[in-house]
Chains A and B, each alone.
Chain A
């Protein structure tokens, strides 16, 4: 069985993972949400069409999204150092996780908003709503079920990504699994890490599904 020391390590790793995922998810949402809204409303034929802005921001988002995460982590080390003051440790790992999460969330929000029935935008315009009101009173509330699902997906992805930040000494469950389970050949540690991750992902997914169901008022009666 697992020794008390290993269990301590496991708990610390779990806390590190939760810390990294929560902070990068939260900051990623703060950055990604407005970018996603901006992308959705500046597209062709949209509320505030601005194709130059849309293409430039879209290209930046795509660049980040198409860089493999492990390369992103290493490539932005100078930036990480600038922000976190260090390039090693859990706090440092939050920077690349956030940089990866923000564009992912931006695309999710963009898609969620584009799925909102255009008739609602027209109705709001007919009521004399400003573009800002259309975003805050119509688009975001109506897109909320899809955004909640998308944020859940992002959180699960971040849990996966967080396993890779061991490369910069980020700590967390993935790091524990690699260093103890793989490099020191302790298969029971590896198994324990995998089980904890599975349970964690299940909890995140179930919570996300529950929230999405709560905010979705679309299918209350057939």
Chain B
């Protein structure tokens, strides 16, 4: 998905390294290694990884809460690593941040929490009011303005966090596992709010998560991290449709159900067997997801295709289908079918060979 400002870079991380000195005798711990990422203006960029993968450190290098050991961090054409402490504080005013545990001040009301970044910047009281009130409206908390965080639900707290992050009119919003402490329904609401803000304000959002559902729901691009490295990155649709790294597959498989039912899986042999038919997984992307290619193959090649499993998903508004079929025909017909699918730019892979069902 292309943003209206696709040619403009908002965040560029170049050859980023971060090592933490070891506690005691061991070797230093590498948190980030050879990170190169470009995040475009107006984009929702997701970083996914398991805990300890380095995604939190990566996010914190963008506003230099974590200073990289080496490498370059450019945000809106400003080299963050070269700033003086004062300049850095100034630059942080244009980078909002939200957190897994909200990090709201318990001693301040909803209004005063949202006003905090403005107070810190020395904004005059009437201007603060003019800024905060529309934000409370945006996140739907106008009626809670004089409540304290302990009187709010998790979702409401995160809405306060979002309003607070937006108060200084940032160009970038960093989201640190912002929905990980919320229930699924609230997660969806918060994600929709973020997507809405992204569209309405053209705000660039960088979010980290360990939940692939979050990526699928709102991200335009995704980077997958493991052991401090980005192992795969690209448009969300492409990564979901063609995950190459095993870790990426393990994230993607559960949500788009590329797998096949266990009962059928038990009949699969990885190598050709006498009397066993090849089982193919065909993936359809974009407009091809709706074209009648299967029946065409069946007709042209006189090949029976026994459908095992099929599914059509939608990722970022584009249809994405998978079909698992057992090909009942001779080897040459199967070969021909595979090449025909390839010619049509459909993804095809041989999952294995189906042994006859037990009777």
Interface residues of A (CB under 8 A from B): 117, 119-120, 122-130, 133, 137-138, 141-142, 144, 215, 217-221
Contact = CB atoms under 8 A, between A and B. Distances in A.
A124 B150 contact: no
B97 interface: yes
B63 interface: yes
Q: Chain B interface: which size bin? A: 20 to 34
B168 A127 contact: yes
Interface of B: 63, 65, 88-93, 95-97, 99, 101, 103, 105-108, 116-117, 119-121, 148-151, 168, 174
Given A117-B103, A120-B103, 19 more contacts: A117-B101, A119-B101, A123-B97, A124-B116, A125-B92, A126-B97, A127-B92, A127-B93, A127-B97, A127-B117, A128-B91, A128-B93, A137-B116, A137-B119, A138-B105, A144-B107, A215-B107, A218-B150, A220-B151
Contacts of B116: 124, 127, 137
Nearest to B120: A129
Contacts of A221: 150-151
A126 B93 CA distance: 8
B150 A123 contact: no
A141 B103 contact: no
B156 to A, nearest CB: 11
A141 B148 CA distance: 14
A141 B105 contact: yes
Contact of B148 (A117, A127, A217): A217
A58 B151 CA distance: 38
Nearest to B167: A127
Contacts of B65: 122, 125-126
Contacts of A219: 150
Contact of B92 (A126, A141, A215): A126
B105 A128 contact: no
B258 to A, nearest CB: 37
Contacts of B97: 123, 126-127
Nearest to A130: B89
Contacts of A218: 106, 150
A65 to B, nearest CB: 29
A140 to B, nearest CB: 9
Contacts of B91: 128
Given A137-B116, A217-B150, A221-B150, A122 B103 contact: yes
B263 to A, nearest CB: 47
A120 B150 contact: no
Nearest to B121: A128
Contact of A142 (B96, B106, B150): B106
A123 B97 CA distance: 7
B105 A126 contact: no
B95 A142 contact: no
A130 B97 CA distance: 17
Contacts of A122: 65, 99, 103
Given A126-B97, A127-B117, A128-B90, A142 B107 contact: yes
Contacts of B95: 126
B344 to A, nearest CB: 49
The 8 tightest CB contacts between A and B, nearest first, are A128-B92, A123-B103, A128-B89, A119-B103, A217-B148, A126-B97, A127-B117, A141-B107
A15 B121 CA distance: 47
Contact of B120 (A117, A124, A220): A124
Contacts of A120: 103, 105
A217 B103 contact: no
A64 to B, nearest CB: 31
Contacts of A217: 106-108, 148-150
Contacts of A142: 105-107
A126 B174 CA distance: 10
B195 to A, nearest CB: 22
A146 B336 CA distance: 77
A127 B93 CA distance: 6
A126 B63 contact: yes
B155 to A, nearest CB: 15
